[in-house]
Structure 1
Amino acid sequence: MRWLAKVSDKTYSRNNEKPGTPAHLQHDGAHQMFARYSIFVLFVATTLFNVHFVMAQSKGLLSPLDRPALMVRLPAKSYLLSVAEAGYRLVAVGERGVIVLSDDDGMTWRQAKVPVSVTLTAVQFLTARLGWAVGHYGIVLHTEDGGETWVRQFEGVTAARIVLEAAKIKSKEAGSDGPTNKKALSDAELLVKDGADKPFLDLHFDSAKSGVIVGAYNLILHTEDGGKTWLPWLDRLDNPQNFHLYAIAASGSQLYIAGEKGVLFRSDDCGKSFTRLDTPYKGSYFALSLFPSGEVVVAGLRGNAFRSADQGASWKKIAVAAPISFTAAKLTRKGSLILANQAGQLFMSNDLGVSLKPIHTSPLPPINDLLITQDGALVVVGANGVTRLTIPGDTTSTGVKK
């Protein structure tokens, strides 16, 4: 999901072989032109943002973390990155803190009140009223009224401080791994120095109290009080190069996290410990889905998609017609899987991910996320905001994360 935002996030990497170039695109010739364009756009946007941020600070103006999102004339046409169901309501989030709501299965949309104007990358609702959204600058937002209003729960400066405090404690433990802890402490100190610029990219709450958020540079934190306080889990992942974490999915006590350079982690104990899994592809995974029967599907750059029927012990490639990056995956209520890509194409699997068949629609813009509404329509969000479609076949789906 949210492919464009995720490509951009890597341009300030500390770990790239070629500074300024997304690590997961460096060996990906077909994407170099797009990568260069994305980097240029991001450079200009970031430069302008930082200039305005500094000017705002010097003039005593509110920063984007403190400035409410502007109410726009056509909110449903905003650049949107994620969409979820909140009971019978649809909630989509995107750039500049825009959050839009629909109470008629995506036919019409209105804008919600949001206390920040930073880009929001992912949203999840546990019930019709209880939801969370995450985004750039380490923001975590929370709603208790179905998305009508939101409060700020967490942000990047606090996240960096918490990570640093945990690294300091770990470094003083008797018998701990000296070099590993020394690197973790150094990374945490740099995180604090950088400030609140690291994005969270996905989230998963399994109860009103327990949730996990993941993001750039191996950022992963957990809450047991509904987001009031957070604890870092960075040391639970075998990710010494601090690859980005793009997607998280859960089923029962199992938790999967997919990310940059083909990294994939599985926890069998609700996150107490993680195993790093070997996968056939060393590019980034942006889409991740778990079937109730145990099958796992990961998909990402250049149309690479893989399926495992043994919890990640072995993988089979899913045949795809075009090498175009996958951006989103959702399970339908009938057990089908829908995948979307950066070219606006849609695919469906009715055999637990063994094969994909194209869903023929009119041309669509790049898709960041999708769901199927209660009345069977397909809603996709992306560069052109919200698009509602009617698709053939299995049209009973869910916006609930799987």
Structure 2
Amino acid sequence: MARLNPGALSAMFGACATLVLAATAVAEGVTAAAVPVALSQPALVTPKALGAAMLAVASAGKRLVAAGERGTILYSDDAGRNWQQARVPVSVSLTALKFVDDKQGWAVGHQGVVLHSADGGVTWSKQLDGIRVAALVAHAAAAMTGPEQQRAQADAQHLVDDGPDKPFLDLYFDSASSGYVLGAYNLMLRTTDGGATWQPWQSHVVNPKGLHLYGMHGTGGALYLAGEQGLLLRSTDQGASFATLATPYKGSYFGLLATRSGALLAYGLRGNAWWSGDQGVSWNKVDTGTQASLAGGAELADGTLVLVSQGGDVLLSRDQGRSFVAQTGGGLPPALPLAAVAQANDGALVVAGLRGLRRVAMATSAVRQQ
């Protein structure tokens, strides 16, 4: 994924009083003309949604839920064979979603959108957008003291000036109350009440270059972040602080898998993947057999790991991520770009990509498209 245009991020702003006024204006006095239509216009309910580009798919109990372009969210109660469209209050592209049980789930996307569902993905409400995010960051920066104050205030003012175009790229919830959303330029927020309130969290992350955060996962009592330019971070204090890990790779990591056994797999550009069995202290390169960028992954019920690529690869590992085998016999068309994968309750895979959603039947020696 290309680095986003920084726009006005080179400007400086250090006056606390002006910042507070700007935050108040954003939070309370935004005119209708300043709010992008996509933040107030519900996603169009149409049969064409079944063929929309989809960027995320996840399980909500036995149900599957997928999200993608123009606010499209679909759900399936028959293992991905048929899909229905959910009611969504925005029409921005949605990049990631997660459920903590069969009812409670969140989705994030462009223009700082955070959505919540309490009914397994059938209906959604907006918890955050880029306008509110800017106000929260500005308010937090205004209250800061010490050597980082001026920089934090300047960055916050840029968020206000730039408007609501603040994409979130991933999220992580470990319960129905506690979670994080993260994205471009180190943007990160935390909630401890299920999204009723949010706190800016980027000051807790050691990321002085403001690199994009692409993925987050937790295992073994630790939390991990992955981002561009080889950025990997770990928290061992329940998210209070994230420190950088030595990384063997300088390209972007687009995601993380943290297995139930405690292993880590970071994956990203040009088929690169790296494995760690010691909480990120050391890393071993994994031969994935592809040069296509790895866009999504999942751990299946039996512990098998699966990665999907922008070149249409479906890669399986049955040794906790140390090696992968491409499933090709009768499988997906090689030209189909894939973005995410989840397992249906009948054991099949469901992959999300630029041409919609497809079931992929698992087999011993091949993956077959249905």
Alignment deviations for residues 355-398 of structure 1 (CA, whole Å, 9 cap, x no partner): 11111113151110001111111100010000111121399xxx
Correspondent of 1:363 among 330, 333, 342: 333
Counterparts of 1:84-95 in structure 2, within 5 Å, are 84-95=58-69
Partner secondary structure for residue 154 of structure 2:
helix
1:188-227 residue pairs with structure 2 within 5 A?
188-227=156-195
- Tell me which residue corresponds to 2:349: 378
CA RMSD in angstroms, aligned pairs only: 2.1
Alignment correspondent of 2:252? 284
Task: Tell me the amino acid that sits aligned with residue 115 of structure 2.
Answer: L
CA offset at residue 277 of structure 1? Answer: 0.6
Q: For 1:167 and 1:62, how far apart are their aligned partners in 2? A: 25
Give per-residue Cα distances to partners, 1:100-155, cap 9 Å, x unaligned. 01110000011111110011111111111111111111011111111111111111
Q: State the distance in 2 between where 1:92 and 1:394 align.
A: 27
Select which of 271, 275, 282 maps to 1:303: 271
1:39 corresponds to which residue?
none
Output the amino acid matched with 1:132: W
Q: Structure 1 residues 317, 14: CA separation in 2 closer, same or farther (over 3 Å shift)? A: farther
How many pairs are equivalent? Answer: 343
Partner residue of 1:42?
none
How far the C-alpha of 1:287 sits from its partner, in A, is 2.0
Match of 2:208 in 1: 240
Partners of 2:73 and 2:158 lie apart in 1 by: 32
DSSP 3-state at the match of 1:11: coil
User: Among 135, 139, 142, which residue is 2:116 paired with?
Assistant: 142
Runs of 4+ deviating beyond 6 Å? none
On the 8 A contact 1:208/1:226 being kept in 2, the answer is yes
**Which position in structure 2 is the counterpart of 1:348?**
316
What are structure 2's unaligned runs of at least 5 residues? Answer: 10-30
Q: Distance in 1 between matches of 2:4 and 2:199?
A: 27
3-state SS of 1:101 partner: strand
Decide whether the 8 Å contact of 1:359 with 1:391 is kept in 2. Answer: no
Q: Does 1:125 align with 2:99?
A: yes
CA distance in 1, matches of 2:72, 2:101: 21
Is contact 1:217-1:243 (8 Å) kept? yes
Query: How far off is 1:188 after superposition?
Result: 1.1
TM-score (norm 1): 0.81
Whether 1:73 and 2:73 are equivalent positions in the alignment is: no
Pair 1:168 & 2:139 matched: no
Question: Whole-Å Cα distance in 1 between the matches of residues 282 and 218 of structure 2?
Answer: 19
Structure 2 CA distance for aligned equivalents of residues 292 and 14 of structure 1: 41
Q: C-alpha displacement at 1:246, in angstroms?
A: 0.6
The runs of 5 or more residues in structure 1 that have no matched partner are 1-6, 17-55, 396-402
Percent of aligned pairs sharing the same letter = 45
**Partner of residue 33, structure 1:** none
Cα deviation for residue 57 of structure 1 reads 5.8
Q: Which moved more, 1:96-105 or 1:329-338?
A: 329-338
1:82 to 53, 56, 78: 56
The normalised TM-score by structure 2 is: 0.88
Would you tell me which structure has more helix in proportion to its own residues? 1
Matched letter for residue 196 of structure 1: P
In the TM superposition, what is the alpha-carbon distance from 1:297 to its structure 2 partner? Answer: 0.5
Contact 2:289/2:325 (<8 A) preserved: no
Provide the C-alpha distance between the structure 2 equivalents of 1:134 and 1:162, rounded to a whole number of angstroms.
17
Q: Is the 8 A contact 2:8 2:158 kept in 1?
A: no
- Contact in 1 for aligned 2:184/2:211 (Cα 8 Å): yes
Deviation at 1:61, TM superposition (A): 9.6
Residue aligning to 1:325:
293
Equivalent position amino acid for 1:291 in 2: T
Instruction: Write the distance in 2 (CA, Å) between the matches of 1:240 and 1:15.
Output: 18
- Residue aligned with 2:4, SS: helix
